[in-house]
Amino acid sequence: MAAKRVALLIETSNAYARGLLRGIRSYVRAHGDWSLYLGEQRRGESAPRWLPQWQGDGVIARIETAEIARAVLASRLPAVDVSAARHIPELPFVETDDRQIAIAAAQHLLGRGLRHFGFCGDRRFMWSNQRGEHFEQFLRGAGFACQRYETPARGPRSWAADFEALIAWLQHLPTPVGILACYDIRGREVLDACRAAVIRVPDDVAVIGVDDDDLICELAEPRLSSVIPNTHRTGYEAAALLDRLMAGEHVPPGAYLIPPLGIATRHSTDVLAVDDPDVAAALRFIRDHACEGINVENVVAAVALSRRVLEIRFKKATTRTPHEEIQRVQLDRVKQLLTQTDLTLDAIAHRCGFRHTEYMSVAFKRATGQTPGKFRGQVRP
């Protein structure tokens, strides 16, 4: 049987897209005999000239412009979209879950004790708009406001004018403030604006981006924290859907959303914005030792307060109890190990400070609505 010919209209110029391509490659190695056509292209670039004459079997594309949409429709080939722009609603599209990305970022900043928040986006991109809306909505539900700064969707964009406007916005925010940037490049722009305005990061402004683009995040000053999208699984699932389409199976159109893997914490959010020094010390102790199997009594001993006083002050400063904070840190580590390793559940429970695997599983399901096994199956193809 001849290899299926599949065109990949995906840019190779950024870490997110390269993660998609790695996921597609993994699917092909495991399940398919495909001949892949991939040209070097940038985001939003014109449709390749060879596509109208190309005799292929299917397409996976980031359809971010009307021109690419027309080219994909004109090919009359089975296609799967890996963009949030949704230029062709009748296609299935596989994308990172922007709601879950926004929630992960909000919870990360709330966990730093921050009570003021901002979102820095770009109205040209639907995924940016969605992340901003979900971020603001989640914070509103938690009792906090969110101020937004976004470049306009239309009209010429002057980098210099945008940079000055961004500085002015930052200077008028209450501090300390936690800011979600719609993606890492925008996050780096926020850090640059803070440096130009002599605003301290992370003390006055804590910044988190999205995509965990290693080079952008590590070369930023200070290094940029970022939400880690599961691009590998996104690409893998897109390839699986296309395989079904090429086999003649009906695949319903609409969204197939992939949750993020977690947070890559770097210096840009390394802050504890808690006025109470005893609570700040308790938070630091929990973060340093939660996965060693500590309990609330260990925290009480570390800060030399009575348990009742600590719990009252801790709840007032963080909206959580010390026990809830210990378990939150433990479960974040459980998610990381489920996603990034092949360790057994027993080994993960041991490394995360749970005495019994069963107790870890119950706590995990209570917090996430899923068993650890189901979670691992969803985040890893």
CATH code of 209's domain: 3.40.50.2300
Do residues 250 and 286 both lie within one domain?
no
pLDDT value for 381: 61
- Look at the chain and count its residues: 381
Q: Which residue has the tokens 């007032």?
A: 316
DSSP H helices, 256-356, are 277-289, 296-303, 307-318, 322-340, 345-351
- Residues 6+ away with beta carbon under 8 Å from 343: 337, 351
pLDDT at 60: 96
d(Cα 211, Cα 183) in Å, to the nearest integer? 6
- Indicate whether 84 and 131 sit together in one domain: no
Radius of gyration of the chain (CA): 23
Domain shared by 127 and 220, yes or no = yes
Q: What's the confidence (pLDDT) of residue 373?
A: 92
Q: CA distances (Å), 98 to each of 9, 174, 226, 255, in order? A: 22, 26, 14, 12
| Model pLDDT, residue 210 | 97
Residues 147 and 185 both lie in one domain: yes
What CATH number does the domain containing 305 carry? 1.10.10.60
89 and 15 part of one domain: yes
What pLDDT does 33 receive? 86
Same domain, 87 and 129: no
Both 294 and 253 in one domain: the answer is no
Specify whether the CB–CB gap between 372 and 338 falls below 8 A.
yes
pLDDT of residue 157: 66
pLDDT value of residue 1: 65
- Domain match, 112 and 220 both: yes
**Number of domains into which the chain is organized:** 3
Do 189 and 219 share a domain, yes or no? yes
Domain range spanning residue 201?
Answer: 98-229+263-269
The answer to whether residues 102 and 225 belong to one domain is yes
Do residues 135 and 221 both lie within one domain? Answer: yes
Q: What pLDDT, on the 0 to 100 scale, is given for residue 287? A: 86
pLDDT at 146: 97
Count of C-beta atoms within a 10 Å radius of residue 154 = 7
Q: Count of CB atoms within 10 A of residue 140's CB? A: 11
Sequential pLDDT tens for the chain (381 residues): 678 999 999 998 889 999 999 999 999 999 878 999 987 777 767 778 888 888 999 999 999 889 999 999 999 999 999 998 889 999 999 999 999 999 999 999 998 889 999 999 999 889 999 999 999 999 999 999 999 999 876 666 678 889 999 999 999 999 999 999 999 999 999 999 999 999 999 999 999 999 999 999 999 999 999 999 999 999 999 999 999 999 999 999 988 999 998 898 899 998 887 788 899 899 889 988 999 999 999 999 999 889 999 999 998 888 889 999 999 999 989 988 998 788 999 999 999 999 999 999 999 999 988 899 988 887 766
Q: Are residues 190 and 295 in the same domain?
A: no
